[in-house]
Amino acid sequence: MSETHVLPERQKAQGADKDRDTAATRHMCAGVYFHRGFRDRIIRSVHNAPYWRVAPSYGFDLVPVVRHAWYAWGLDNALLVCVPTVLTCAVLLGHALAAVMAGCVLASGVLLRFTVLTGYDTLRLRVDRTAENWLEREKKGRSGGYLDHEKRKRRLRGIRIGAAGIAAVLLVACMVADQRPEEALGTLGAVLGVLAAAGLLAGAARQLLINRVHGRAELKASRLLPREKAVDEQQKHHCAVYRRWERKAGDDVLDVLRNREEMTLFAGCGELAHYWPSPLTVPLLREEDEKRQYRRREYERPPFAAHELVDHLKQAFRSLEDDAEDVRLEGIEASDRLCVPEIAVSADRTLLKERLREEDLGAVIDRPRGSVRHYLEVTVPTEGGELFTTVLVAVTVEGRALSIGFSACALGRTPKAFHRIDSYAEVGKAAVVWSALKGAAELFTEAWRVIRLLELPFTVAAALWAQKDRTLRPVRWIPVGTRFSAREEAAQEWRDVGKGDQEAVFARTKVVEQRIVSTVEDFLEEKGVDTSEFSEAAVRIINKGVFNMGDNNQTNYASGRNSQVNSGQGEQNPGGDEQRKKD
C-alpha cells in the first residue's frame, strides 16, 4: 500500500526543485510520532547541530521530517508540563492534600505498569526455563536469549523495586488519610480530570498530525524557518563533507575489519553493497596496427578530457527518461557529487557557499590530485524511495591512461513501525478517538518522564542558537563533517535486508554497470582509442567484482560484452558455471 503515497496527484505537488514527497518521506514523518528516540535524534543531531553539515537526502526530503519532529516534541513536552503545572496550581489554591493524592495516583500508575511488564517478562523467562528442563534440551544455541540467568535476576530485582514503590505510595496514602481525605475528593477528581483532558487533547492532536502526513499532497511548508532553509540547502548541495575514519588505540583487529565491512563513502549514501575491487585502468592507444611500437601508439596528449566522458555518461543515463513507460527505469537521475574531507574545508568554505560553475566543475574533474573528489552519481529509487540505490563513478585521465572506479551503495527500508499509517484503521476519525484514549492512559502510566523537562530549556536554547547556518564560517576546533544521517538511522541494515530487496538493488546496479561499460567503450571508439584492452579489462574487473548481499558475498559474476568467467575460479566452485551462464 506504500505505493499509494506517490500517486500522480501528489507528484504534481512536487516543485521544480524535485523535492520528493515520497513514501520514505511520509514514513519518516510518521516515525517521529511513533519513536521518541528517532525524534530526539532528529532534533539533537540535525536541527540543533548547526556546526555539522547535513547529509545528502536520497529518496526523501528532510525538511518536513524536522518540522514534524518538532511537532511531536512540542506535544509530548506540553503534556508533561501539564503535570507539575496542575499540581502546583492545586497547592497554590490551598488544595495541597488533593495534590498529594493526585501525585500518589500518578506514582501508582507508573509503578503498577512497571511491575506488570516486568512480571510478565519474568514469567516468560520462568516458563521457558521450565519447558527447557522438561524437554531436556541443550541450553546452548537457544534463540531469543531467555536462558540468560542475569537477565532473569534483573527482572526479579525490578519486581521487588516496583512492589516496594507501590508499598511506599500506599504508606503515603495512609498517612494522608488521617487528614480527612473525603474533603479533598472533589478537588482530586478535578485535578485528575484536567490531567485526563490534557492527555486526550494531546493524543487527538498527535493523530490529527499523523492523518495530515498521510493525506496531505505536499508535506513541505510554504514558509520555512531559517534553520529549515539551511537544512534544505545543505541536503541538496552537490558537496558532501565527510570524516576520515581513523583507527583508535583501543580498536582491535575485529573492530577494524567490522568497520571496513560496513564502510561507506560518505554519510547519507548508505552501506557499500557492490564495488570494483580495483579501478578499471586502460592505456589510451591509437587504433592502428598492433605491430607498431607501443610508444608510437600512445596518445601523448589524451584525445579527450575526463569531464567530456562524464558529460557523455550523463547524457547516456538521461536518455533513459525517454523510454516507454512500461519499461522505463523510474526515477533514475545522473548528477555530480563532490566529496571533500572536513580538513580540506577547515579554512576555506568557498565550496560550501555556492555551487561551482560548469567550467570550475570541469576543472575539478580533470584535476584528480586535489583534495576534492568528483563522482558521477547515478541514483535509482524503488517503491517511493523505501529502497534506494546510489552508484558513484570516479573518472580520471592521467598518466596516458583512463581509470574508472565503481561503487554502489544501498539504503534499506524504513522500520516497520513507521509504516503504521498504511495499516487498516490507523488513520481517520476512529484513529483519533483511539489515540486520544491512549494519550490519557500514557499520562497516568508514564508520568515519570516529567523528569525529562529538565532538558527542555537546553533544547530550546540550542534551537534558537541553530537558526543561523554556522558551517559557512570557520570556527577554531570545530570541524563541519557530517556526523549523522536521518535516512541511514532509519534504514534497515544491509545484512538484514530481504533477498527480494537485495536482488532489486543488484538488478539496478547491474543495469547501471552495463550501461557505463558500453557507453565508455562507444565513447573511446568515437575518439579513436583502441578498445581491445578496455574490453578485456572490463571483463576482468567485473568478474572479480564483489556484491555484498548480507552474509553472502557474491563473486565472479560475468557481465558486459564478451564476458566470461575465469576457468580456474570455476574449478573451485563446482556447478558455478551453469549458474553464471543463467545470470
Between 50 and 134, residue with greater pLDDT = 50
- Cell matching residue 227: 534553520
Identity of the amino acid at 548: N
- Residue 179 is predicted with a pLDDT of 54
Give CA–CA dist 209/231, Å, rounded. Answer: 22
The pLDDT value given to residue 402: 92
- Residue 285 carries which DSSP code? B
Work out the average pLDDT over 286-296.
66
- Dihedral class, residue 474 (left if φ above 0, else alpha if ψ from -120 to 50, else beta): beta
In this model, does residue 139 exceed pLDDT 70? Answer: no
pLDDT higher for 318 or 566?
318
Q: For residue 54, what pLDDT band results from cuts at 50, 70 and 90?
A: very high
Q: What is the CA radius of gyration of the chain?
A: 30
**Max CA pair span of the chain:** 112
Q: Provide the mean pLDDT of the chain.
A: 80
* 202, 224, 339, 447 from 75: Cα distances, Å: 6, 20, 39, 15
Top pLDDT among 269 and 186 is at: 269
In DSSP terms, 333 is beta-bridged to 379
How much is the pLDDT for 112?
A: 77
Q: Which residue has the higher pLDDT, 328 or 123?
A: 328
Residue 216 confidence (pLDDT): 84
Rounded average pLDDT over 228-239: 93
> What is the helix (H) or strand (E) element at residue 114, kind and residue range?
helix 96-135
CB 401 within 8 A of CB 161: no
Contact status, residue 388 vs residue 58, Cβ threshold 8 Å: yes
Question: What span, in angstroms and rounded, lies between the C-alpha atoms of 129 and 151?
Answer: 12
Write the single-letter amino acid at 578: E
Q: Quote the percentage of the chain above a pLDDT of 90.
A: 38
- The cell numbers describing 44, all together, are 539533537
Distance separating alpha carbons of residues 565 and 579, to the nearest angstrom: 11
Q: How confident is the model at residue 160 (pLDDT cuts 50, 70, 90)?
A: low
pLDDT, mean of residues 174-201: 77
Residue 157 has pLDDT above 50, yes or no: yes
Neighbour tally for 294: CB within 10 Å:
9
- The answer to whether the beta carbons of residues 462 and 124 sit under 8 Å apart is no
CA end-to-end span of the chain: 31
For residue 460, the tally of other CB atoms under 10 A from its CB is: 12
Please determine, for residue 14, whether its predicted confidence score (pLDDT) is greater than 70: no
